[in-house]
């Protein structure tokens, strides 16, 4: 018990002594200027820190909404530019088509100026690709001087070729029997040898034409790529109009004739304009 009281008497003076040292050190620092607290500076530091935080938050919010507004405007600008680009592409396609059409018409005009007979230019407005009836309808008729049986030609990529003949005529439209129709038979000749045969259609634009009645004796004289022309016989077509070129030569064992496959000069799937010719010089007004 006495020992505990002794410990207490020692601890209490030690506690006050420590407080004294701390207070003395504080006042000593204050008096020497080594530790001077300016409440104004402290207040400024606190306020400026708060202001900086508020400014950062305000700037962040403002930047966010500005970014949203800019993004919305960019989206509108993008949609507008996309629309203009589509319009430009459409105009460009139209310009290309118009330019090609002008080139085709110029090619047609340049060729017709050299024709020694009357003619009428026309545009294809309908066609029937059926194998049983492969008619092509044009936008000119009897009012333009077109008559039944008149031959029809065309110029395509600088090449003149036979299209067919007129089989039906109305006041404002006419129908053409094309050379690829299975009912079409044309007296034709090989340009190199002048041998005459018959060119027949097979019913479809994508099929070859067939040339028959060419004697086997000329097999060594003809070759692939030789041009087949109209013979001008039977008074159905003008002479020397290209029909196509030889792509295959077949000698049949049971026949004395050759069978030739002919690629037409005219690509009928791309044919748009034709020339109806009056090679007998009957007047045609366009």
Contact 266, 156 (CB under 8 A): yes
pLDDT in tens, 26-53: 555 555 554 445 545 545 555 566 566 6
CA–CA dist 148, 26 (Å, integer)? 128
* C-alpha atoms less than 13 angstroms from C-alpha of 16 in its C-beta half-sphere: 5
Handedness of CA 151, 155, 161, 163 (dihedral sign): negative
Tens digits of residue pLDDT in 141-189: 999 999 999 999 998 888 899 999 999 999 999 999 999 998 899 999 9
124-150 residue pLDDT tens: 999 876 655 578 999 999 999 999 999
pTM above 0.85, yes or no: no
Percent of the chain with pLDDT over 90: 36
Distances 278 to 93, 103, 275 between C-alpha atoms, Å: 37, 25, 10
Note the pLDDT tens digit of each residue in 225-235.
999 999 988 77
Residue 256 vs residue 263, higher pLDDT: 263
Q: CA–CA separation, 115 vs 279, rounded Å?
A: 9
Kindly report the backbone phi and psi dihedral angles of residue 7, in degrees, each rounded to the nearest multiple of 5, phi listed first: -65, -35
Residue 158, classed as helix, strand or coil, is: coil
């Amino acid at each position: 018990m006495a020992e505990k009281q002794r410990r207490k008497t020692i601890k209490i003076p030690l506690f006050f002594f420590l407080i004294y040292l701390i207070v003395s050190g504080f006042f000593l620092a204050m008096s020497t200027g080594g530790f001077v607290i300016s409440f104004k500076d402290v207040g400024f530091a606190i306020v400026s820190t708060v202001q900086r935080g508020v400014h950062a938050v305000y700037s962040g919010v403002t930047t966010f909404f500005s970014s949203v507004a800019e993004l919305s405007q960019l989206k509108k600008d993008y949609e507008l530019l996309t629309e203009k680009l589509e319009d430009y592409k459409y105009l460009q396609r139209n310009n290309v088509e118009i330019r090609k059409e002008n080139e085709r018409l110029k090619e047609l005009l340049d060729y017709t100026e050299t024709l020694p007979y009357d003619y009428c230019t026309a545009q294809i407005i309908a066609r029937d690709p059926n194998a049983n009836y492969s008619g092509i309808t044009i936008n000119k008729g009897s009012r333009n001087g077109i008559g039944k049986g008149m031959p029809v030609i065309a110029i395509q990529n600088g090449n003149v070729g036979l299209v067919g003949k007129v089989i039906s005529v109305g006041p404002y439209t006419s129908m053409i029997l094309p050379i690829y129709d299975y009912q079409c038979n044309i007296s034709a000749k090989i340009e190199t040898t002048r041998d005459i045969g018959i060119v027949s259609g097979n019913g479809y634009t994508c099929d070859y034409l067939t040339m028959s009645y060419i004697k086997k004796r000329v097999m060594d004289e003809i070759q692939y790529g030789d041009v087949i022309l109209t013979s001008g016989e039977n008074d159905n077509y003008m002479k020397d109009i290209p029909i196509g070129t030889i792509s295959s030569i077949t000698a049949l064992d049971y026949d004395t004739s050759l069978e030739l496959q002919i690629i037409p000069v005219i690509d009928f799937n791309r044919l748009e304009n034709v020339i109806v010719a009056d090679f007998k010089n009957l007047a045609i007004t366009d």
